[in-house]
Amino acid sequence: MKIVAANWKMNLTRSEGLALTDAIVKGMSSVKDVKVILAVPYPFLAEVGERIKDVRNLHLAAQNCHHEESGAFTGEVSAKMLRSFGAEYVILGHSERRVQFVEKCRTIRVKMEVAIANGLSPIFCFGESEEQRMKGNHWKAVKGQLSLGPNMLTEDEVRKVIVAYEPVWAIGSGLTATADQAEEMHKHVRSVLYSRFRELANEIPILYGGSVKPSNAAELFSQPDINGGLIGGASLVAEDFLAIVKA
Ligand code: 13P
């Protein structure tokens, strides 16, 4: 089953978020065989969770969590708290966190372990920068992030993981990787996962993220190694997001 996840990032007020949720819930009645995940800001979790809890194939996610279980970390949120508010997934290692909040591979790996130990499925994000691609270092960059991320987990742990290839140059830029560019990278991702997990690698969903729109979603999602998408900007408009889900 394909997976389409919305990443609202730091957008929307309470009323806007709830209106968007209601519109998505309504649209889900005509969606078949797609798992849809809404990654919402922390304050939205309880109310959005309440609205989607009985909707088939609609799931709740957070956009980050702390790497410790609990303690004196003012302003932070733990994996256990997220689970207690109904979250099933958590985005980890998004490039905006790697770059703006200087999150290191090691911290992201520990976050994945803590998330899984507390009943959450990580959506592990990775992808090369524009400079890395220009210099031809994108294969190596992606291999490095995967090697220090999901490939450090146990087989039992990795069964819970979704990975999301998000080339940094394509995020919020309007520049999308072509379907061929995305597919060849997804094949590479699969082979890096295969080197660690063998056949189990074929069961790990690999999403594509970066300027996915209703106009390019169908072509991207028709590629054999693209198992769905992680959607930023277009997930803030119900009509666009639902068009992507239906693609
Ligand atoms: P855009 O779809 O806005 O490019 O964002 C992608 C993204 O970062 C999803 O996590």
Taking the mean position of all CA atoms in its chain, how far away is CA 77? 18
Q: Name the band, by pLDDT with cuts 50, 70 and 90, for residue 84.
A: very high
- The answer to whether 85 and 48 are in contact (CB under 8 A) is no
What's the whole-number mean pLDDT along residues 45-56? Answer: 97
CATH number of the domain that residue 242 is part of = 3.20.20.70
What's the whole-number mean pLDDT along residues 139-160? Answer: 98
pLDDT of the residue at 229: 98
177 has pLDDT over 90 = no
Say whether 160 sits in a helix, a strand or coil.
coil
Token reading at 143: 């291999």
Per-residue pLDDT tens for 192-206?
999 999 999 999 999
pLDDT of the residue at 149: 98
Q: Which residues are catalytic?
A: 94, 166
CA 184 to centroid of ligand 1, rounded, Å = 20
CA 54 to centroid of ligand 1, rounded, Å = 27
Average pLDDT over the chain reads 97
Neighbour tally for 107: CB within 10 Å? 17
Interhelix angle 14-27/45-52, rounded to 10 degrees, is 20
Residues 6+ apart with CB under 8 A from 205: 3, 162, 163, 227, 228
Choose the residue to mutate in 8, 171, 173 for probing ligand 1, maximizing ligand atoms within 8 Å of C-beta: 171
Q: Name the band, by pLDDT with cuts 50, 70 and 90, for residue 228.
A: very high
What distance in Å separates the CA atoms of residue 155 and residue 200, rounded to the nearest whole number? 8
Per-residue pLDDT tens for 232-243?
999 999 999 999
Span of 18-22, 115-119, 170-174, 209-213 with lowest mean pLDDT: 170-174
Token reading at 154: 């146990």
175 has pLDDT over 90 = no
Q: Please give the model's pTM, rounded to 2 decimal places.
A: 0.98
Helix ranges, the chain (H): 14-27, 45-52, 79-84, 95-100, 105-117, 130-134, 138-147, 155-158, 179-197, 214-221, 238-246
* 210 touches ligand 1 (CB under 6 Å): yes
- The answer to whether 240 and 215 are in contact (CB under 8 A) is no
What's the whole-number mean pLDDT along residues 62-89? Answer: 98
Q: Name the band, by pLDDT with cuts 50, 70 and 90, for residue 155.
A: very high
- Boundaries of domain holding 16: 2-246
Q: Whose CA is nearest to atom 1 of ligand 1?
A: 232
Total count of domains within the chain: 1
Per-residue pLDDT tens for 25-45?
999 999 989 999 999 999 999
